[in-house]
Every structure is written in structure tokens, then in C-alpha cells.
Amino acid sequence: MYEIRTVGDPVLRETCRDVTSFDAGLRRLAKDMLEIMDEAEGIGLAASQIGVLKRLIVCRDPDTDQAFSFVNPAIVERSQEEIMGSEGCLSVPGFSVEVPRAEWVVMEACDVQGRPLRVEAKDTFARVLQHEIDHLSGCLILDRTSAEERRRVLKVIRDRTLAS
């Protein structure tokens, strides 16, 4: 069974590879990821967060609660305006930090069958997509927040590690 990797695990800094085989294994991985995400009470999960270096994300639309699996996702358009918002991450458990994100995005991807998709998202759903796609390039919310916030969170994580 997979487990969610947390900050400090080198796999989170890896760049994921494009998916080229849309087979039963990919569909099973996406299903497993949705279960892991739901069990952890998250709204998004990237394959790299469970140690699989494939360009696959799963998420729920926060407005409709509909679950999605996106393969080889890429942001192809984004708003000029960025909005600050609080984000948590299953790989940085117990913390929320302020992160600037585009207000809306257009993403192109495939579903797990290999069919092309084009998704227009705004507000929280746009934030979720940007967050999860960042993971596929080895980028964490700590890389997108202020230096002060990053230092604060990393200090608490270090102190917890030393205390245990």
C-alpha cells in the first residue's frame, strides 16, 4: 500500500514523467490515489506524493465534490491577477501558508482512458489544480510562500523531528 510522503522526502523534489500507457494499472493507481486522498481528508493528491513519478493528479472540485483524475496535466492559460490564499498540503501536514495563485486557469490533460480534456477553473478549484500540478515538478507550497513563512514552518518541523 502507498503512503503519503512528507516534506524532507527526496521524491517530493523529483520531476514526474509523462504517462504514455493508459492501461488498467493507471486506472488502478488513480483509484488508489482517490481513496488515499479521501482517507486523508484532502482535496487533491499528486502521484509523486505517494512516491510514484508519473504525471497524474486526482482532486475534488470543492464546489461540486466531484472527483477527477487528470493525466499529464498542464496549465495552458492563466489570469494575470494572482490572489493570496491559505493552502495546506498532505505532504506538509499540520500547516497552512499563504500562497499566491492565478485567479483562474485553463488546464489541458487526459482522462485515465487517454481522452483529451480541457478544464477551465476559477477560485478554489483553480488553486487546487495549480497546487497539484506544482507537485509534478517537485514544487511544494513552501517554495511558493514567503521566506519568513518557509523558515517558520521548517523550524517547527526540525524541532519536532529532534524532539522525537
CATH code assigned to 10-163? 3.90.45.10
Average pLDDT over the chain, rounded to whole?
A: 96
Of 38, 139, 48, 35, residue with least CA distance to 87: 139
- Ordered by start, the domain boundaries in the chain are 10-163
Q: What is the pLDDT of residue 117?
A: 98
Tens-place pLDDT, residues 23-50: 999 999 999 999 999 999 999 999 999 9
What confidence category does residue 95 fall into, taking pLDDT thresholds of 50, 70 and 90?
very high
Of 77, 97, 75, residue with least CA distance to 86: 97
Q: How far apart are CA 96 and CA 103, in angstroms?
A: 19
What is the dihedral sign for C-alpha 148, 149, 150, 154? positive
Catalytic residue among 35, 77, 98, 132: 132
Is there a contact between 43 and 60 (Cβ–Cβ < 8 Å)? yes
Q: How far apart are CA 88 and CA 42, in angstroms?
A: 9
Q: How far apart are CA 45 and CA 58, in angstroms?
A: 5
Residue 39 annotated among the catalytic residues of the structure: no
Q: Return the CA Rg of the chain.
A: 15
Please provide the DSSP assignment of 61-111 as one string: -TTT--EEEEEEEEEEEE-S-EEEEEEEETTEEEEEEEEEEESEEEEEEE-
What confidence category does residue 159 fall into, taking pLDDT thresholds of 50, 70 and 90?
confident
Per-residue DSSP letter, 48 = G
